[in-house]
Structure 1
Amino acid sequence: MKNVFLTSALCCFLALASCSSSDDSSSSSDPTPVINTAAQGTWRVTSFVDSGNDETNHFTGYNFTFASSNVLTASNGTNTYTGMWSVTSDDSDDDNPSGDLDFNIGFAAPADFEELTEDWDIVSYTSTVISLIHVSGGNGGTDTLVFTKN
């Protein structure tokens, strides 16, 4: 009986010891590569889906510039809106597919641009496409946002 207990306890200990922690310091939590990618050139919104509603057309003709000092501008040649942006490490244990990074966007106006104000999770990014997702904590709606480099 004593051997059964010790064997069971040892198996439990080994199982727990082999689990990995989600708080590792992997390179996916380093915001620098994403910041460098976004800061290169201008971008356009090629998809914005707000809780199932395609609202991409609200951003047609706008070029987005992710500049230094966290300044974000959107301009269509007639109108220019200024906001903020950053990429930050997020230690929360969500199911962020790109690790623990948030792509933060903030606009105070106009209303269509305020819709982009979120702490987006990065789905993927390349030198030409940045794909983001946000799952609302309130209503559970899912928003997706895709920037494509000009």
Structure 2
Amino acid sequence: MMKSRQLNNLLIGCIALFTLTASCKKDDGPKSKAEGIVQNGSWHISKYTDTGIDSTSQFTGYSFTFNESGSVNANKGTDNYNGNWHILDSSNVTAENLYLIIDFNLTNELADLNEDWFFLLLSDSKLELNDLNGNNLGNQYLTFEQN
């Protein structure tokens, strides 16, 4: 009888420990998944259009790295530019309300990236984005692809 009580107490303790550990795991919601994808490796811009005009060539040669600290680095040969980024989840419910916020605080071509970019597509190898203008899709489209 004493052994079965000890086993029951041990079993209850193990279940409590497992429950506590499981409840402390990192959030795997849409925002967290998007952050993991964006931070994974380096990216290049494969498409950038503004009001229907293809201006992708102004980003040729740039490689972008989105760091966990919230900084973003744009590297082109010996030129390095730093900015900030974060993912905004306007609903905390679905991936349909995620935005990539980029801010380089520069006056060169990278200033065109300073937007609240709405995710049209989020995959491990491609990010398709649109600047949101009020509640409507805007006139700028941006696509990052993994290097």
What SS does the corresponding residue of 2:34 show, helix, strand or coil?
helix
Note the C-alpha offset of 1:51. 1.4
For the aligned residues, what is the CA RMSD? 2.4
Greater per-residue strand proportion: 2
Note the C-alpha offset of 1:141. 4.7
Amino acid at match of 1:60: T
Note the C-alpha offset of 1:52. 1.1
Number of matched residues?
119
- One of 120, 126, 130 as aligned partner of 2:127: 130
- Give the TM-score normalised by structure 2: 0.73
Does the CA-based 8 Å contact 2:87-2:99 persist in structure 1?
Answer: yes
What SS does the corresponding residue of 2:69 show, helix, strand or coil?
helix
Does the CA-based 8 Å contact 1:58-1:112 persist in structure 2?
Answer: yes
Find the counterpart in structure 2 of residue 76 from structure 1: 76
Note the C-alpha offset of 1:125. 1.2
Greater per-residue helix proportion: 2
Percent identical pairs in the alignment equals 29
Does the CA-based 8 Å contact 2:130-2:138 persist in structure 1?
Answer: no
Find the counterpart in structure 1 of residue 67 from structure 2: 67
2-structure distance, mates of 1:81, 1:54: 23
1-structure distance, mates of 2:31, 2:118: 12
What SS does the corresponding residue of 2:121 show, helix, strand or coil?
strand
Does the CA-based 8 Å contact 1:83-1:107 persist in structure 2?
Answer: yes
Does the CA-based 8 Å contact 2:70-2:86 persist in structure 1?
Answer: yes
Larger Rg: 1 or 2? 2
Does the CA-based 8 Å contact 2:83-2:105 persist in structure 1?
Answer: yes
1-structure distance, mates of 2:146, 2:39: 11
Unmatched runs of 5 consecutive residues or more in structure 1:
1-28, 92-96
Deviations 1:105-134 (Å, cap 9, x if unpaired)? Answer: 111113311111011100011110000011
Does the CA-based 8 Å contact 1:73-1:81 persist in structure 2?
Answer: yes
**Structure 1 residues 34, 89: closer, same or farther in 2, change over 3 A?**
same
**Structure 1 residues 51, 136: closer, same or farther in 2, change over 3 A?**
farther
Note the C-alpha offset of 1:50. 1.1
